[in-house]
Amino acid sequence: MFHNNKKVYLDYSLCLKAEEIDLIKSFTEWLPDKIIDCHVHCNLPEHVISMEEKIYKHMGSTFSSFSLEESQFLKNIFFPGKTVRSLRFAQVFRGINHYKANQYLLESSKQEDRVALFGLPEDEEYTISMLSNPRVSALKMYYSYVEPTATKIYEFFKPKILEEAQTLGIPIILHLPKIITESKGDLKQVLKDFPNLKISIAHLGSLKVLIPQLKSVFKEFTTYENIFLDTALNPSPEIVKLALDIFGEDRIMFGSDEPLYLIRSQVFIHPKKGQWLITEYLYHWVDEENHRLYSHLASGVIHSHWLSMNAIRSAINTFTAPERERIKEKVFYKNAKTFFKF
């Protein structure tokens, strides 16, 4: 199952709203000159072989491919005048030829950028052998890649692979199979089994709305010095602030989730489904009935990128002026530079 809407979606996304133009200018002044984006998806259209229905109905299918050239084009628009380096990995769904997508990134990425290998749970030998490639700076595996969708980390991050990553000092990028408050025990087991494994928890633990128990769960994981978090597509200033307060400024890293950050969406609480996304534009994965009932909540919504950037800026601006510059430098550059060995 495929859709032919990539050009349409890009045209819609790159027709910038006045607020988005103002935000580009505002963040150009606010951001440090050097940035590392540690959460970027990138692969070619020919790497996309098939797409299952569960992926087709997921927002991740909006841009099933995005080339290195397109990635740089976006960086030039959103971060004009900045030096932006990226940690890139292929789209994460089954149906991508990840052998070729990995090779594309390893062979074609700029020398100053880095590649996260997309690991294959069904091919442990390949994944383990590729971890020793000198251009591999991280390992990405994904809970929805397996069938049925994983609910436990070891169902997609196989222990033999994690053992090799730990031995080589290769960090993993972990999108938890459930929100961090529900994956707490599962994550603790991984940390017990692999105490020296470097882990970057994607999306600040995948909660987009602050819940009371998040503070205590964050505190439980601060004792594990090998855990870092990335900010990819998290729109909550409260969660970013909580992460900075509890984990500290040295363990939070900027990630954009490019190109998914081009999606214009709004988080809302659905009466039956709970935390949910609503959009102004009727993407192919949006339920038409939900769109009819709730799209007014997304009227005038801006790129998801700006929601997460505003969340980071709002959180950092709660600190004193001298602290802000130091924290910005760490979150947007220094932490990822050290963690992923740029």
Whole-angstrom Cα distance, residue 115 to residue 38?
10
pTM > 0.85: yes
pLDDT of residue 147: 92
Per-residue pLDDT, averaged over 79-103, amounts to: 97
pLDDT of residue 54: 87
Domains (ranges, CATH) in the chain? 6-264+304-337 (3.20.20.140), 266-301 (no CATH)
pLDDT of residue 272: 82
Per-residue pLDDT, averaged over 39-47, amounts to: 97
- Is pLDDT of 258 > 80? yes
pLDDT of residue 2: 53
pLDDT confidence tier of residue 4, bands split at 50, 70 and 90 = low
pLDDT confidence tier of residue 275, bands split at 50, 70 and 90 = confident
pLDDT of residue 83: 98
Per-residue pLDDT, averaged over 4-13, amounts to: 90
- Is pLDDT of 167 > 90? yes
Per-residue pLDDT, averaged over 126-132, amounts to: 98
Of 247 and 54, the structure prediction assigns the larger pLDDT to 247
Per-residue pLDDT, averaged over 314-342, amounts to: 97
- Is pLDDT of 92 > 80? yes
User: Tokens for 204?
Assistant: 């600040």
Place of tokens 């222990």: 159
Of the candidates 282, 332, 333, the one whose C-alpha atom is nearest the C-alpha of residue 308 is 332
pLDDT confidence tier of residue 276, bands split at 50, 70 and 90 = confident
The answer to whether 63 touches 6, Cβ cutoff 8 Å, is yes
DSSP E strand boundaries for the chain: 34-41, 83-89, 114-118, 136-141, 172-174, 199-201, 227-230, 252-253, 265-270, 274-279
- Is pLDDT of 1 > 70? no
How many residues does this entry show for the chain?
342
pLDDT digits (tens, 9 = 90+) for 181-225: 999 999 999 999 999 999 999 999 999 889 999 999 999 999 999
The answer to whether 331 touches 256, Cβ cutoff 8 Å, is no
- Residue 136: partners with Cβ closer than 8 Å, 6 or more residues away: 106, 115, 116, 117, 130, 170
Strand partners, 22: none
Mean pLDDT of the chain: 95
Q: Strand, helix or coil at 293?
A: helix
Whole-angstrom Cα distance, residue 92 to residue 79?
25
